[in-house]
Structure 1
C-alpha cells in the first residue's frame, strides 16, 4: 500500500512544529483537569498557560441553546466549549503538565468521566459574581475523590472576598487551597497549577490516616 509522502511526487504531510515537541529532558508527565461552571474562564486559562498551540473545541452559541444554558451574568459570551480544551506546560526541565479543560454546561458533563481518566488532580475555576454555578462542580469532585484546588478568577467588577469567606460560601474543608488568579495571565495561571502541584505533593507526603 502506498502512503502519502512515500512518493516524491506527492507533498509530504506537515509534521509538528518545533515548539510543540516534548523536551528531551522531560521525565514525568502529569495530567490535570480544569473544571468549573459555564463561562468561568476555563478555555482562557488553558490557552494562556499553554506553551504549545492549544487545542480548543469552541463553537458559536446559538439561539437553540438559549433555553438550555444559563447565561445570566455572562450575556456577552458568544462561544462555548463543546468537548474539551488541551494545552501543555513544562513546570521545570523534567516535569510536564498536560492540561485538559472541561465543558461547563451541565448537558456536556457526560464527557467529564473520560477527561478525568488518569488525572492526578483538578483546578476548580470560580467566578465570584456567580459562585452558585460552582456548587455542583465541587460536589462532583468531592464524590469522585479527585483532589482539587479552587482558583477565583478575576473579572471586571468581580467582588473581592476574603479567602475564608469564599471557603465558607463554597463549603470547603480547611485543607483545600484557595487562590486568586487572572486566567488571562500566563504567570497567574501557572501559579494556579503550581498551587495544585504543591497540594498534591503535600497530600502524598502526609502520613496515612
Structure 2
C-alpha cells in the first residue's frame, strides 16, 4: 500500500513549530512487516509534511525481501518515516514508522527507545510476520494496539479469531483501519492513547 489514493491535507501543511498550547509530547512507533502500510499511515495522518526515507526497489532485493501481497510496490522504507499530529491542543504525538524488511530490523531497537506506545499494523495475508514484531515490542516493554489494514483482496476475520491466532491477551485492542484515510488512522492513534491512559491509571505503565 502506498500513498496513491491516500488522504492529503488540503492546502499547505502546518508550520513545523509547535503551538504555544502544547504541554506534552509522546513518541509513537508504527511497526509491521514489509508493505503493510506504515509509510501510508504516517503520511495520511501527519499534520506536517512527513519525512520519508523511501528508496526505489531494485533487483538486489529479489529473493531477500518478502514482497508477497505487495508485488506492485516500487519503493521501500530503508530507515524510518516521521510525522507529527496534535490529538488535542495540549498533546502532540511524534510518529516513527519502522522499515519492514527483516534486513533492516536492527534499526528497530533505536526507534523503540523512548516510545510511549506502538501501533502494530497488520496484513491478514501475512499474519506470521507480526509474531516477530509483537515479540520485540513485548521484550522492550512497549505497549501496543493492533490495527488490521483492510487491503481490498485480504481476507477478513472476526476480531476474536485474530486475537486467538496472534495469541494476544484480551486487554490489547484490535481494530480494523484503512491506513490511507486520515480519520481511520487517527482513530487508531486515539485507541492507542486510551489504552495507554488505562494502563497508566492502573499503574501498569512505566
Q: Fold conserved (TM > 0.5)? A: yes
The answer for the alignment partner of 1:12 in structure 2 is: none
Judged with a 3 Å threshold, the aligned counterparts in structure 2 of structure 1 residues 79 and 18 are, in CA distance, closer, same or farther, namely closer
Judged with a 3 Å threshold, the aligned counterparts in structure 2 of structure 1 residues 19 and 144 are, in CA distance, closer, same or farther, namely same
Per-residue deviation at 1:20? 2.1
Unaligned runs of 5+ in 2: 1-12
The answer for the alignment partner of 1:204 in structure 2 is: 200
TM-score by length of 2: 0.90
The answer for the alignment partner of 1:167 in structure 2 is: 163
Q: Is 1:45 the counterpart of 2:41 in the alignment? A: yes
Q: Is 1:109 the counterpart of 2:78 in the alignment? A: no
Per-residue deviation at 1:47? 0.2
1:19 to 15, 18, 38: 15
Per-residue deviation at 1:197? 0.3
The answer for the alignment partner of 2:119 in structure 1 is: 123
The answer for the alignment partner of 1:78 in structure 2 is: 74
Q: In structure 2, what is the Cα distance between the partners aligned to 1:35 and 1:136? A: 11
The answer for the alignment partner of 1:35 in structure 2 is: 31
Q: In structure 1, what is the Cα distance between the partners aligned to 2:113 and 2:141? A: 13
1:53-78: per-residue Cα shift (whole Å, max 9, x none)? 00000001100011210112211111
1:178 to 167, 174, 177: 174
Q: In structure 1, what is the Cα distance between the partners aligned to 2:68 and 2:203? A: 44
Aligned length: 192
Q: Is 1:137 the counterpart of 2:129 in the alignment? A: no
Judged with a 3 Å threshold, the aligned counterparts in structure 2 of structure 1 residues 94 and 132 are, in CA distance, closer, same or farther, namely same
Unaligned runs of 5+ in 1: 1-16
Judged with a 3 Å threshold, the aligned counterparts in structure 2 of structure 1 residues 199 and 109 are, in CA distance, closer, same or farther, namely same
TM-score by length of 1: 0.89
Task: Compare CA radii of gyration and give the structure with the larger one.
Answer: 1
The answer for the alignment partner of 2:50 in structure 1 is: 54
